[in-house]
Chain A
Amino acid sequence: MTSKSRRRRIAAILRYAALTAWAVVAFFPIFWMISTSFKPDTQWFAWPPFYFPHPPTLSNYLNVWFGAEEYAATQYAISSQKPLISLMNSTIIAGTSTLLSVLFGSVLAYGVSRYRILSETRMFQLLMLRMIPPIVIVAPLSLYYSALGLLDSMTGLILIYFLTTLPYAVWMTKSFIDEVPREIEQAAEILGASRWRTIFEIVLPLIRSGLVATFLFILILTWSEYLLALIITKTQVTTLPIELSKYQGTTEGRVYGRQAALSVGITIPLIIVGLIIRRHLARGFSFGMVRR
């Protein structure tokens, strides 16, 4: 009996050790990013490295996000950037495309769930929109957009994000709709509600929390999208990931503190959103096939 309980205790200790080891691996880069964002410029790539900022300073944030002049005058100034405008662009583009995706996706999912308007084969073909790497269409897309005048516009990005996230929206909302018992809709139909009213006033409100989860999940994807944004935006409309990638070409090279301050600002909204829907992430990434 005692040997069994001792073995169990050793197993528990080993488990904590293994989990803690990976927790350190998972968290260290994020810690480093936050730490660097508060470091003065002499400690960005000092040897030996500074693990904690000494003393912590807000100058990186003030310079990067607000273009504060007293910091902009230093040799590491990135004065031409406009991260606050990019923040607004990112919010509008990610928000609008995600909203469209969830709105049309959930109605389509309802049609598939109740009226089988797409066969199972078609539903899987829809996944191709997501599974074929977007790199294969970016060149013709950019030429097509330039002919339409959609290059460097919010509309262009919103449209293509809408299209590429639609499979997630349809599949994920369908997994929620499938869980709603049909009796409620049948009762509504008998009482004379139209099909559209049934969707918008009965079914969608019933899966409210699922819709929110789907919205936030797709928001994660559109917020961090890089390739399409890189091609379609030029100068007028930049999203936050593109704003960050402008540091790639700076001649000084290593402006780590500034990059980190920008990175933290881009990442925080995503982490908040992700933690809100942490229970639904598995469902989202598996197109609703795995549930909890």
Chain B
Amino acid sequence: MQGVAVPVSLVAGNSIIHRLNPIAKLAWVVVVLVIAFMTRNPLFLLALAVVGLVLVTAAGIWRSFSRVMLILLPIGTSLIVFQAVAPAFPRPWTPITTFGPFTIYQEGIYSGLSLLSRAVSMTVFALVMIMTTHPSDLFTSLKRLRVPYVLNFMLAMTLQLIPVLQREIGVVMSAQKSRGMKSTGFGAVLPSFVPVFAGAIERVQQLSISLESRAFGSSGIKTSYRQVSVRPFDWLIGAMAVAFLIACIAIFLTNNFLDMSRTLVIPAELSLILVGLSALGFVGFVGSAIWLIVRA
């Protein structure tokens, strides 16, 4: 069996972000997640995303980051297309202009922009964390927080099993083709699940025996090989996350969640450009998805 490459997604580096305690980083990601869902104001969310980009620069991970964003953006922008013409918003709707047979609504653009900027801001912060944290360090930190050992272990294994399962599915599909199986794409992947599943079960059985033989599940005191430090600076960052959350909640509660859906005026030309661009993005996404499925 050949070895597989587990996509650790950690980008090597020693920036201030890399050296931050994983829990401090996790705290910020959770805070941003909560905040992003509390408001629909695209300007606020965009500003949040920009702050995230500053962190990307500080971490020095632009190359890997842009590679991921390049894949996600076309999907994201398609949101604008749908929202522009059929807003998920209570009526009445204010039309801005027309795009062929479709009418573009003010609320639609607003909605689309807020969904997009929400997705972007969350993704940026999540990527900053994933790309600057070694999974083992995260798991060690979670262990410290009394997350059950077994859960940690399951998470670590899942991460590694993905490329293994990919490889196995690939082998099974080669075997099917070698026996003349005609159906391609998704039709071919489905029957491969049985052998892959059986293989996965066998693997888990043997692994559990191997682990038991190494005293896994010992009830005694367990020590830890990986040491993750917690500095005062990490506590400060964590505290700042909580403070930020409280501040934002306060602002939202007193300002109607920064709702600018009726007040933010979007010029017609801008809306047309936005819809046009996102339509392109959408088409590109669908096209490459079809191509990938057919090619398999």
A binds B: no
Which residues of B are interface residues toward A (Cβ below 8 A)?
none
